[in-house]
Structure 1
Amino acid sequence: MTHNETILNSTKSWLIRPYVRWYMHQVRHWTVKVVRYNEEEKEEEENLVPKCTQKHYSPAILFSGDGHSMNHYHCFSDVIFPLYMTSFSYKPDVHFLITDYRDILIRKTHEILHRLSRYPIVEIDNENEQVHCYHKMFVGLKFHGDLIVDQSSPEHAAGMSMQSFRRFLRDTYSLERSRALEPRLVKRTSPRLMIVSRKTSRILLNEGEISQMANEIGFDVVTSDAELTTNRSRFAQTVNSCDVMLGVHGAGLTNMLFLPDNAVVIQIVPYGPIDYLAGIEFRDPSWGMNISYLEYKVAVEESSLSKQYAPDDPIITDPNSYYAKGWDALFSVYLHNVNFTIDLGRFKGTLVEAMKLLQH
């Protein structure tokens, strides 16, 4: 790890949570201590530094498996993509040290992790009797924002991009399609549209009618519940076979990572103060993926909130006031236990626009 401050003849330490959302208190703290000394102090200072039990000649990255990593979206935005970015110049000759180990995280991402590093993952919390020594180490992961790469960054200059990450995923999961259906074929072959279905909240109550309308417009519709999918490789291949992905704001839309280039993603944004979240999580990342993004904003009449609350309730009339009440209040009202009946007349234009984007 490097630090801008020059430290001479002194010891300085930091407490670090090696997770991109550093404010999450459940993530284990690690102490980083820099020790530098002159020749006169060498013997005394060396006694303060534990002796190596294992020496490694490749760099290492320490990261946490805690935080929101069990959520499909945050698994990619908080762990996998930042890990890809941090290891980009070294893969696969880099060691991964994981604190706050989660077996389910490792199992569901093992294909990716094995391609990023040639070495077994070290559960560093259990290495109490070992002292691992590395010539270079990253404590925590590089993070420019949710699933984006800062184009002014050294990483981008070195060739790191969302496009390179998507190519990496295609190689990892053996995805066949790098491009969506060619425009000249769209009128002769029905483009494939996936509806990411939800079963617990934010349900499209008239999903069947939406599917029928999409068929009438010319799409070959498939429905898949990303929340219940256990075989990520197989699901990634299904997504890659599609030209359009449609779904309500939620973790299932993360699978747009597996869409071919020139595909279209349609995010249905729930009624309420959700626009900012919808933007940073899915709209903004789509710009670097070489896919088109469309957005459909649910009107209050299409939301079950219109039946749960009086027309003059602030939840209906002043949703932005819920920002001041914090995330838990916002989530409980506008994202949890709320469902939608989409106005087919309003929504048809969005599907027609998706078809036009594929044709050009």
Structure 2
Amino acid sequence: MMEKESRRLVNCATLPICLVLIGGNLSSEKINIDAVDPQEFLLRRLVRGDDRVQLDSNGFSCRADVHTQVCVANKPVRIYNKGLTVYVPSDSDQPQVKRIVKPYARLEDETAMKRVSPVQILHGNNTIDPPTCNFTHNVTAVVFSSKGFTGNVFHEFNEIIIPLFITTRHFRSRVRFVITDFELWWVQKYNRCLSHLSAYEVINPGTDDGSVHCFPGAVIGLTYHDNLALNSTDIPGGYSMFDFKQFLKESYNLKINHVSEIQKPMLMLISRRKTRRFLNEDKMVEMIMELGFQITRVEPEWMYNLDEFAEVVNSCSVMLGAHGAGLTNEIFLPTGAVMVQVVPLQNEWAATTYYGGPAKEMGVRYLEYKIEPEESSLFDTYGKDHPVFTDPKSIISKGYYAFRSVYLDQDLKINLERFKKTLIEAKKIVESSTPIN
């Protein structure tokens, strides 16, 4: 008995999280640790139920939901750059089956998916041998696209960075990323995140049409949970939003843990230049300073250099902005900070769903300021008796683009006296916030 247990511990030394499973009983299913190599064990943790049974029986499993497709292979695979083809062998005599996967976590959005190249997976045996390996790797491949809605920071985090963390964090950097629809600017922007999830250079399958990369296993596609969200009960290792924020702190070397560490309240004002602009922004700045805040105004181009911008956000007590992608940067705020979202007309659902709801899980206090009709540029454009105000459903029923052309393209002239109450509340929150020991 002692010899057998000792052998289990030696095997687990190459896979530290085995010890957690052995002692913590995270799974009701008994696993023979001796019979499972570290990579196979880690890949197995990505699937459950019938998908796990299928992976155990033939080394390959695929699942799909409304948001994403994810395929897992725990057998040696070959990735042929030409045509983005993944060859997955089978131990049985099953004929080869072709499966097409678009590895981007927004399947429900046709516009986004049109920009994502398909990956062809050939699983099973064929009379024709797969192409010969040009490069052989000893870690798992993770295949995903850097296209979709990249260029919008919300979608970059929501559909790639957070799903990538969910899918690969438990591998402890022992994975190699194969990025389809390769966007160099995106890889450079998120280099710190990528390098903290993988110890290896990324592979761009578009640079060499003839190369074949061989891996001991692969994941094609990324697991998605919800808007800027992680469901810890459905993640190998049980990672939460707190763990993701800790990962960002390590990746970007962020120094401030809690808002109480900031000596004088600092407010970041996100200044938009195209739509949902603050028409009286200068007056807003004057009032903010009169209330005792230091202030930094940032424009969208500041956000491109995430290495620097993350530190700026982390030094702020309050983030203020109109509904829009820039508010995604709340993810870098220290615990106890406040995010104030100015909600334009008919944007209530999106404001809460995309930014307000996730803020709580980030340890950020959320306040919102819903504008009155008179504070919208739509009031002067259409008048108070127009269906834009009296019957908004008639506009919304025409579809997203009709909605966008009206309600997303409005500008805002804030009622300063009314808005002051929200800012005073934000200041009280940060000044009274203390870390929880």
TM-score w.r.t. structure 2 length?
0.74
Aligned amino acid, residue 427 of structure 2: M
Compare relative contact order (CA 8 Å, sep 6+) and give the higher one, 1 or 2: 1
Is residue 400 of structure 2 the alignment partner of residue 327 of structure 1?
Answer: yes
Partners of 1:221 and 1:281 in 2: how far apart? Answer: 25
Tell me: CA distance 1:154–1:85, structure 2 relative to 1, closer, same or farther (3 Å).
closer
Superposition pairs for residues 67-78 of structure 1, below 5 Å?
A: 67-78=148-159
Q: Choose 315-324 or 2-11, whichever is displaced more.
A: 2-11
Aligned residue in 1 for 2:295: 221
Partners of 1:213 and 1:339 lie apart in 2 by: 19
- 1:87/1:151 CA distance change after superposition, 3 Å: closer
What is the rounded CA distance, in whole Å, between the counterparts of 2:203 and 2:194 in structure 1? 12
Aligned to 2:119: 30
Deviations 1:45-70 (CA, angstroms, capped at 9, x unpaired)? 36343333322221111111111011
1:84 aligns with 2:165: yes
Distance 2:350 2:172 in 1: 32
Amino acid at match of 2:257: S
1:87 maps to a residue whose letter is T
* TM-superposed deviation, 1:229: 4.0
Identity of aligned residues (%): 36
Task: Find the partner of 1:113 among 160, 185, 194.
Answer: 194
Question: Is structure 2 residue 253 aligned with structure 1 residue 164?
Answer: no
**1:75 is paired with a residue of what secondary structure?**
helix
Q: Distance in 2 between matches of 1:210 and 1:74?
A: 29
**Whole-Å separation in 1 of the counterparts to 2:250 and 2:393:** 43
Structure 1 letter corresponding to 2:327: L
In the TM superposition, what is the alpha-carbon distance from 1:279 to its structure 2 partner?
Answer: 1.8
How far 1:257 moved relative to its partner? Answer: 1.3
**Structure 2 equivalent of residue 64 of structure 1:** 145
Offset of residue 263 of structure 1? 0.5
Structure 1 residue 233: deviation in Å? Answer: 1.9
Partner letter of residue 321 of structure 1?
S
Deviation at 1:21, TM superposition (A): 0.9
Deviation, 1:134, is 1.8
16 and 249 in structure 1: CA distance in 2 versus 1, 3 angstrom threshold: same
Instruction: Structure 1: state its 5+ residue gaps.
Output: 37-44
Unaligned runs of 5+ in 2: 1-42, 59-91
Q: Does 1:15 align with 2:100?
A: yes
Provide Cα deviations, 1:75-100, integer angstroms capped at 9, x if missing partner.
11111121122111113211100111
Please give the TM-score of this superposition, normalised by the length of structure 1. Answer: 0.89
Measured in 2, the distance between the counterparts of 1:357 and 1:125 equals: 50
**Deviation of 1:228 (Å):** 4.0
Alignment of 1:318 onto 2:391? yes
| Distance in structure 2 (CA, Å) of the matches to 1:354 and 1:206 | 20
In the TM superposition, residue 259 of structure 1 has moved relative to its aligned partner by 0.8
Which residue pairs with 1:42 in the alignment? none
**Which residue of structure 1 aligns with residue 35 of structure 2?**
none
Match of 2:255 in 1: 176
User: 3-state SS of the aligned residue for 2:414?
Assistant: coil
Deviations 1:198-256 (A, max 9, x none): 12221111122222222232222221213444432222111111111000111211111
How far residue 111 of structure 1 moved from its aligned partner, in angstroms, is 2.0
Q: Does the aligned pair in 2 maintain the 1:271–1:334 contact within 8 Å?
A: yes
Within 5 Å, which residues of 2 pair with 1:191-270? 191-270=265-344
Name 2:175's counterpart in structure 1: 94
* Structure 1 contact 240–258 (Cα < 8 Å) conserved: yes
- What residue identity is the alignment partner of 1:260? P
Task: Report if the CA contact (8 A) 1:92-1:115 is conserved.
Answer: yes
**Structure 1 residue 143, shift from structure 2 partner:** 0.6
1:303/1:13 Cα in 2 relative to 1: closer, same or farther (>3 Å)? same
Q: Which of 131, 148, 158 is equivalent to 2:229? A: 148
What SS does structure 1 have at the residue aligned with 2:272? coil
Counterpart CA distance in 2 for 1:321 and 1:61 is 45
Check if 1:348 corresponds to 2:420: yes
2: distance between equivalents of 1:261 and 1:131? 46
Equivalent residue for 1:54? 135
Q: Contact 2:103 / 2:143 at 8 angstroms: preserved in 1?
A: yes
- What value does the CA root-mean-square deviation take over the aligned residues? 2.1
- Is this contact kept in 1: 2:336–2:364, CA < 8 A? yes
The verdict on how the C-alpha distance between 1:313 and 1:109 changes in structure 2, with shifts beyond 3 A counting, is same
CA distance in 2, matches of 1:123, 1:91: 22
| 1:128-171 deviation per Cα after TM superposition (whole angstroms, max 9, x unaligned) | 2222222221111111012101243134xx13122112112122
CA distance in 1, matches of 2:177, 2:100: 20
Which of 352, 356, 360 is matched with 1:283 structurally?
A: 356
Paired residues of 1:261 and 1:289 also in contact (CA < 8 A): yes
